[in-house]
């Protein structure tokens, strides 16, 4: 083992001596990696291929004790720390040049307890791990809309998903969490134990500690009526206008998406995606207007296991491509916004790009804003511009198009951003991810649980002073 140069929390360089690295390596049941190790290249990679960063050290943890050792080590040496869960965040905060990465990606075990029913999942699990295990029992909880996303980042930011209409957001289904705090202690956060921390974890992102285990409430979910109905892009304005009217008043069982994208064969289309989580015949009736609207190119709405629905959009967003995105939380689908989206998508620089309205779901909207740190409960949709391409030479063009469209749509937004969509994380932008009262409370709790801002590589909540 050789020594490494590493960044400290305030950005200075410090040398971590070989003896210290060897001692930590011996304490971990997982592996401690430096740039010379074979596994290092894989471990530093995340979903967004634009992010090419080299941590000084990577602690590949396999249990809570490993995470505690890594946090204590980083504290003792004053190191800057990043935390990797599923590694799916577009901004790429999971990895940072010169920092110590605490990597939970090997901590992906999930255990169902049928008595609740509940499931406990380790902090590095992805939704594919979670759904695979829970679906075997005919159970599920709200998780995103792809299988490759990490449960940790998604839940800690809130969590929009197909089941949000009946069960609320992912964070609304969290029962408890085991958290390694900045001082190295492990605590439980739940309604009846550290309730302030539990409130902060449900929307406050990775600001409060490393969550090594999430306990979720489960619901019986097996077959859903899901998939999409596809129209030519020339119909984009009509389709999205219809989508806005249709989705404004849906039963709890239904969550929808209105999206402009390219098919795997490269055709630009306007599509309506849906998941009806209830009796299939009732879903057929509810979704009949979607099937009958206009002259679809293809109707792929069908009964299918929820776990399969969670994987069908994966091919549209392959890991390793280059990604950039911007988003707005919206209260409705305004006609003007639809026209702007349709006009911009005609000249989208890359077929790997999708622009979409993701519906929050009725139950998600019914939760009182002060109940969790995800407080934008009036947001009916997350409008996401998810740009994807492969050639680095196209970076500027795609990023510029994304920002321009985002600016053009700003007048129709609630003036708020979903924290998991924050890419430019200056303090002003981060504040738009929270209501003022929520940010103030989070900032006070940050001062209580992480006064030195040890966990700062995230959309950062500054500890309150004085």
Ligand X SMILES: Cc1cc2nc3c(=O)[nH]c(=O)nc-3n(C[C@H](O)[C@H](O)[C@H](O)COP(=O)(O)OP(=O)(O)OC[C@H]3O[C@@H](n4cnc5c(N)ncnc54)[C@H](O)[C@@H]3O)c2cc1C
Contact positions vs ligand X (CB under 6 A) = 46, 83-90, 93-94, 104, 123, 144-146, 149-150, 152-154, 156-157, 159-161, 205-206, 210-211, 317, 386, 420, 457-458
Q: Which residues share a beta bridge with 186?
A: 180
Q: How far is the CB of 207 from ligand X (least distance, A)?
A: 7
Query: 160 vs 406, which CB is nearer to ligand X?
Result: 160
d(CA 214, CA 104): 13
Q: Which residues share a beta bridge with 112?
A: 119
CA gyration radius for the chain? 22
Q: How far is the CB of 155 from ligand X (least distance, A)?
A: 8
Check residue 150 and report its DSSP letter.
Answer: B
Environment class of 297 (CB within 10 Å of its CB; exposed 0-12, middle 13-18, buried 19+): middle
Q: Under 8 Å CB-to-CB from 245, ≥6 apart: which residues?
A: none
d(CA 243, CA 271): 9
Query: 235 vs 401, which CB is nearer to ligand X?
Result: 401
Q: How far is the CB of 172 from ligand X (least distance, A)?
A: 12
Query: 43 vs 46, which CB is nearer to ligand X?
Result: 46
Query: 160 vs 401, which CB is nearer to ligand X?
Result: 160
Query: 386 vs 442, which CB is nearer to ligand X?
Result: 386
E strand intervals along 194-321: 210-217, 219-220, 223-232, 254-262, 268-276, 298-299, 302-305
Query: 51 vs 409, which CB is nearer to ligand X?
Result: 51
Q: How far is the CB of 320 from ligand X (least distance, A)?
A: 12
d(CA 244, CA 67): 45
Q: Under 8 Å CB-to-CB from 5, ≥6 apart: which residues?
A: 13, 14, 15, 16, 56, 98
8 A C-beta contact, residue 382 and residue 360: yes
Query: 87 vs 165, which CB is nearer to ligand X?
Result: 87
Q: Which residues share a beta bridge with 122?
A: 213
Query: 141 vs 420, which CB is nearer to ligand X?
Result: 420
Neighbours of 247 (CB within 10 A): 22
In 3D space, the residue among 84, 8, 93 whose CA is nearest the CA of residue 42 turns out to be 84
> CA dihedral in degrees (154, 156, 157, 161; nearest 10)?
40
Q: How far is the CB of 104 from ligand X (least distance, A)?
A: 5
Neighbours of 314 (CB within 10 A): 15
d(CA 17, CA 137): 49
Query: 176 vs 241, which CB is nearer to ligand X?
Result: 176
């Amino acid at each position: 083992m050789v020594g490494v140069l590493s960044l400290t929390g305030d950005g200075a360089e410090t040398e971590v001596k070989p003896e210290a690295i060897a001692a930590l390596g011996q304490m971990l049941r997982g592996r401690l990696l430096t740039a010379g190790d074979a596994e290092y290249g894989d471990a530093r990679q995340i979903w967004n291929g634009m992010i090419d960063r080299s941590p000084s050290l990577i602690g590949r943890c396999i249990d809570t004790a490993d995470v505690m050792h890594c946090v204590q080590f980083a504290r003792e040496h004053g190191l800057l720390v990043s935390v990797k869960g599923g590694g799916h965040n577009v901004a790429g905060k999971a990895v940072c040049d010169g920092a110590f990465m605490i990597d939970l990606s090997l901590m992906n075990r999930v255990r169902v307890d049928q008595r609740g029913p509940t499931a406990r999942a380790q902090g590095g699990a992805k939704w594919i791990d979670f759904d695979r295990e829970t679906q075997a029992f005919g159970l599920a909880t709200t998780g995103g809309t792809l299988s490759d996303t990490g449960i940790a980042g998604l839940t800690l930011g809130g969590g929009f998903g197909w089941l949000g209409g009946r069960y609320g957001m992912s964070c609304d289904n969290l029962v408890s969490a085991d958290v390694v705090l900045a001082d190295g202690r492990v605590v439980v956060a739940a309604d009846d134990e550290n309730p302030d921390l539990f409130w902060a974890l449900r929307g406050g992102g990775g600001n409060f500690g490393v969550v090594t285990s999430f306990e979720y409430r489960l619901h019986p979910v097996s077959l859903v009526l899901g998939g999409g109905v596809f129209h030519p892009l020339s119909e984009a304005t009509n389709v999205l206008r219809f989508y806005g009217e249709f989705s404004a008043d849906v039963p709890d069982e239904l969550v929808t998406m209105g999206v402009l994208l390219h098919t795997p064969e490269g055709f630009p289309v306007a599509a309506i995606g849906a998941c009806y989580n209830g009796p299939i015949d009732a879903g057929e009736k509810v979704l009949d207007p979607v099937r009958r609207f206009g002259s679809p190119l293809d109707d792929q709405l069908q009964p299918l296991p929820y776990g399969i629905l969670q994987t069908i959009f994966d091919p549209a967003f392959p890991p390793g491509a280059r990604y950039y995105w911007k988003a707005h939380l919206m209260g409705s689908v305004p006609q003007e916004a639809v026209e702007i989206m349709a006009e911009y998508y005609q000249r989208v620089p890359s077929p790997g790009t999708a622009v979409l309205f993701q519906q929050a779901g009725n139950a998600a909207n019914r939760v009182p804003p002060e109940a969790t740190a995800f407080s934008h409960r009036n947001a009916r949709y997350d409008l996401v511009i998810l740009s994807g391409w492969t050639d680095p030479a196209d970076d500027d063009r795609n990023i510029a198009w994304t920002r321009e469209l985002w600016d053009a749509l700003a007048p129709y937004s609630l003036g708020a951003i979903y924290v998991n969509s924050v890419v430019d994380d200056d303090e002003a932008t981060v504040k738009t991810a929270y209501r003022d009262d929520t940010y103030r409370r989070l900032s006070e709790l940050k001062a209580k649980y992480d006064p030195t801002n040890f966990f700062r590589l995230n959309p950062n909540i500054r500890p309150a002073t004085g």
